[in-house]
Amino acid sequence: MIPDRRGDRGQAFPIYIVMVAGLLFLAFAFFAVGQASAARNGAQGAADAAALAAAQEARDAMKLPFLQALGEPDGLNDFLSGSQNPGLGREEADRLAAENRSDVTGFYWQQGFWQDRVTARVKTRYTVGTSVIPSTKDRHATASATAVVEFRCSLETAPEPTSPRQGEGDEENKDGSKDTPGPFEFTCDGRPVIIDLSSSDPLADLSKLIFAVHLIDD
């Protein structure tokens, strides 16, 4: 006589239901983790863009103070030891964060010798989204990034001080023109760079070579 196994099948069915439910929960949990990771990556991208935008704006603004420093005794050391970027770049940081659907919640500069740092903290305008994990529906992703504006050159030859000609004043020549120090020879990442203050545009397209802008780890 063959035993009836319908009772065994009936007992196993609830186990199958529990197993399927568990697998579905795990699948939704992994999906929630993916949502959180995507939101976090979005926030980090917004923070990186905001910090870089602020640093690039600051680099552009450093051109005139740098040239003025070259024309003054020991001006380059004073320039490199002092912060040139207080408050610069906030509007650019806000704009880049907004383009990435985020808002800047923290923004500050840190002074350093030969290097200034700007840190931007952002919060996404969107949430992680609804998932099986409680509270993700109302949770926003946050991130921070720090970018630096770094002087990447060394002064190879300092110009000789210009002595006034006999019968002329210390500041102006007879024709009314002033003696201009220079030219200055720098080495920037192994590349020679000549800066002549008598030129109509001494830096021309060299700002990016003289001042590096890049992200660093917080």
Alpha-carbon span 157 to 187, nearest angstrom: 10
Among candidate residues 92, 54, 61, 91, the one with its CA nearest the CA of residue 79? 61
pLDDT tens track, the chain, 218 positions: 555 555 555 566 566 666 666 665 555 555 555 666 778 888 999 999 999 999 999 888 888 888 888 888 888 888 887 766 667 899 999 999 999 999 999 999 988 777 889 999 999 998 876 544 555 567 888 999 999 998 888 876 655 554 444 444 444 554 445 567 768 888 888 888 888 888 777 776 677 788 889 999 86
Spatial neighbors of 8 by CB under 8 A, at least 6 apart, are none
Q: What is the pTM of this model?
A: 0.70
Q: What is the pLDDT of residue 27?
A: 59
Q: Say which DSSP state 159 is in.
A: P
Long-range contacts: 77-82, Cβ < 8 Å, 24+? 80/113, 80/114, 80/151, 81/113, 82/111
Domain boundaries, the chain: 24-147
pLDDT, residue 84, reads 62
pLDDT value for 9? 55
What token pair was written down for 63? 């051109």
Q: Supply the pLDDT for residue 99.
A: 94
